[in-house]
Amino acid sequence: MTRFSVLTLDIEEGVATLRLDRPDKMNALNAQMRAEITQAVQEAGKAARVLVITGNGRAFCAGQDLSDAGNAASLDLERVLRDEYAPMLRAIWDCPIPTIAAVNGVAAGAGANLALAADVTIAAESAVFIQAFTRIGLMPDAGGTYWMPRQMGAAKAMGAALFAEPISARDASDWGMIWEAVPDMEFDTHWRARAAHLAQGPSEAYRNLKTALRATWQNGPDAQLDLEARLQGACGQTRDFQEGVVAFLDKRKASFEGR
């Protein structure tokens, strides 16, 4: 497995844990970190059954590394977004296994939107999400303008972007922006249990439901029904489906084998 310098990637019992590891910079994203996240996500997608992205230290991720941006006006942000952020976000969106963002602390700027790019976002109750961009004269990026209105609704998305105020994990959960907020004391145990659950689940069903739920934003009802039929047809051919039905009839827990 590749050795990384600004993150760690551990794979155990089907669970890949990618931990951003620049705690003195609140895990801010520099070019190295973006490249390593892209590579680590691709490796996890091939070698594991679920991927968890989390942070080392008190932050999840403070967004773009601003200490790289001394002479801000000379930065080519368009290039950085196209060449470095987009591949990283695409790697997460295209990941064939379920992805969890386990948000252990503040998630700001591109760090907040990195968290939203995962399939499921679980936050410690003390964590906050900040669309910090307008504080430094920018607009939300890193997929934020795509995910925010879809996950929290247009009104909350616009307010979050304009006011750049911290959104508590509890509000984020109540608004539908994330899956759940969990008391800090239970956070680690909880996301690990969630990850273990998905690692033991039916991989092809997960892969296909991700495809269908993504496609729904572009499709009309006919195209979506057609897609469901095709993908469910594929699920119906799996050993996992056979096992699921037999286990139900036997009144026991199904044992899915995955890929």
One symbol per residue from 140 to 179: x for binding ligand T3D (CB under 6 A), - otherwise; what is it? -xx-------------------------------------
Between CA 224 and CA 230 the distance in angstroms is: 10
Between CA 54 and CA 170 the distance in angstroms is: 18
28 binds ligand T3D (CB under 6 A): yes
DSSP, residue by residue, the chain: ----SSEEEEEETTEEEEEE--GGGTT-B-HHHHHHHHHHHHHHHHH-SEEEEEESSSEEE-SB-GGG-TTGGG--HHHHIIIIIHHHHHHHHT-SS-EEEEE-SEEETHHHHHHHHSSEEEEETT-EEE-GGGGGT----TTHHHHHHHHH-HHHHHHHHHH---EEHHHHHHTTSSSEEE-HHHHHHHHHHHHHHHHTS-HHHHHHHHHHHHHTTT--HHHHHHHHHHHHHHHHTSHHHHHHHHHHHHTS-------
209 binds ligand T3D (CB under 6 A): no
136 binds ligand T3D (CB under 6 A): yes
- Select the span of 41-49, 126-134, 223-231, 233-241 touching ligand T3D (CB under 6 A): 126-134
Residues 35, 47, 66, 209: which binds ligand T3D (CB under 6 A)? 66
108 binds ligand T3D (CB under 6 A): yes
Give the interface size with ligand T3D as a residue count (CB under 6 A).
26
Number of Cβ within 10 Å of residue 98's Cβ equals 24
- CB nearer to ligand T3D: pick between 27 and 208: 27
What count of Cα atoms within 13 Å lies in the side-chain half-sphere of residue 182? 22
- CB nearer to ligand T3D: pick between 69 and 193: 69
122 binds ligand T3D (CB under 6 A): no
Residues 55, 63, 143, 202: which binds ligand T3D (CB under 6 A)? 63
- CB nearer to ligand T3D: pick between 138 and 161: 138
34 binds ligand T3D (CB under 6 A): no
103 binds ligand T3D (CB under 6 A): no
Residues 133, 179, 187, 241: which binds ligand T3D (CB under 6 A)? 133
Structure tokens at 13: 């019992």
120 binds ligand T3D (CB under 6 A): no
- CB nearer to ligand T3D: pick between 26 and 51: 26
Min CB(152)–ligand T3D separation in Å:
18
Tell me the one-letter amino acid at 185: M
89 binds ligand T3D (CB under 6 A): no
CB 102 within 8 A of CB 52: yes
35 binds ligand T3D (CB under 6 A): no
Binding site for ligand T3D (CB under 6 A): 25-26, 28, 62-67, 69, 75, 77, 80-81, 106, 108-110, 130, 132-133, 135-136, 138, 141-142
